[in-house]
Amino acid sequence: AEAMESDRVHARAVIMRDAKNGEDAPTSERGWLDWLADCGVTAISGIDTRAIVRHIRDAGAMRGGIFPASMDEVEAMGRVEAEPQMAGADLASTVTPPEPVILDGPGPHIVGLDTGIKLSIVRQLRERGCRVTLLPCRSGPEEVLALDPDLVFLANGPGDPAALDHVVGTVRELVGKKPVFGICLGHQLLCRAVGLETFKLPFGHRGANHPVKDLATGKIEITSQNHGFAVVGPGGEQRMESDEPVRWETDFGTAELSHLNLYDRTVEGLRLLDVPGGTVQYHPEAGPGPHDARYLFDRFLELAR
């Protein structure tokens, strides 16, 4: 439970090449397969997972399913095709808390719109002494401002940012009134709130080995990523040609590219220059590591002081 990033398992299935029902982690209370079964997660092993990865790399992200061998292929495909596409999916509303969560602390008051926040992010804020209030993501700007936050935090979470107009509208009313900082989905939501666009990647960024360049320092960080959408560049481009901190003209003044993905040259972060705010697309908290980017919590908390 200590390693959990959520209150429950959200994966619907696990596909593995080999499966061992071991208790390798020091905190394990039961075997891996026993744990999956207890959580109600379907699992299958003996699969050529590299072949699946290569197929997705070439054909793009897609829906899929795990079925018993006795099921007719046509029926199985019909069930897969009946599943909703990720584009246009408001999944954040399915994971947001029903009521506010309040965590006291002596430091700055951080109010977050919880679209599916990882507990590692909360831990990083709490380790820095922050008082944290997490609101349901459908909370309006009046509810946020009534709490008088020192900084508004936009969390990570699942789904398509273009389907979250209710959150974007709230954020738009907060920009310029309070400092705003977003991670992952929160990065995309803040970008949309200031008038920028997002697009669906052919296949998402998944894993803990993505090199990202901090354009202010020239430092290259190895980052943890888990997203399927990205922000469109200032000229409408999906891939940035230059390593320079190019700028957008937004509805709230100028924004500057702060971080760049060195795998596919997509936008990994920006700074708002005329109002207090900024974002990163990747996960600086990175529960299991790498921890190259945890300094970003300190950088953005400076906005709250």
CA angle 139, 145, 149 (to 5 degrees): 105
Residue for token pair 């590219």: 257
Q: pTM of the entire structure?
A: 0.92
Q: Exposure of 31 by Cβ count < 10 A (0-12 exposed, 13-18 middle, 19+ buried)?
A: middle
Amino acid 1: pLDDT: 57
> Cα–Cα distance between 269 and 273 in angstroms, integer?
13
Domains of the chain (ranges, CATH numbers): 13-82 (no CATH), 92-304 (3.40.50.880)
**What are the backbone angles phi and psi of residue 208, rounded to the nearest 5°?**
-115, 30
> Cα–Cα distance between 271 and 191 in angstroms, integer?
10
Residues near 241 by beta carbon (within 8 Å), at least 6 away in sequence: 265
Residues near 79 by beta carbon (within 8 Å), at least 6 away in sequence: 65, 67
> Cα–Cα distance between 295 and 279 in angstroms, integer?
13
Active site residues: 184, 283, 285
Amino acid 2: pLDDT: 65
CB atoms under 10 Å from CB of 42, counted, come to: 14
Amino acid 203: pLDDT: 87
Instruction: Please report, in tens digits, the pLDDT of each residue of the chain (305 residues total).
Output: 567 888 889 999 999 999 988 776 667 778 889 999 999 999 999 999 999 999 998 998 899 999 999 999 999 999 999 999 988 999 999 999 999 999 999 999 999 999 999 999 999 999 999 999 999 999 999 999 999 999 999 999 999 999 999 999 999 999 999 999 999 999 999 999 999 999 999 989 999 999 999 999 999 999 999 999 999 999 999 999 989 999 999 999 999 999 999 999 999 999 999 999 999 999 999 888 888 899 999 998 998 87
Contact of 198 with 256, CB cutoff 8 Å? no
DSSP lists the bridge partners of residue 267 as 260
Residue type, 132: V
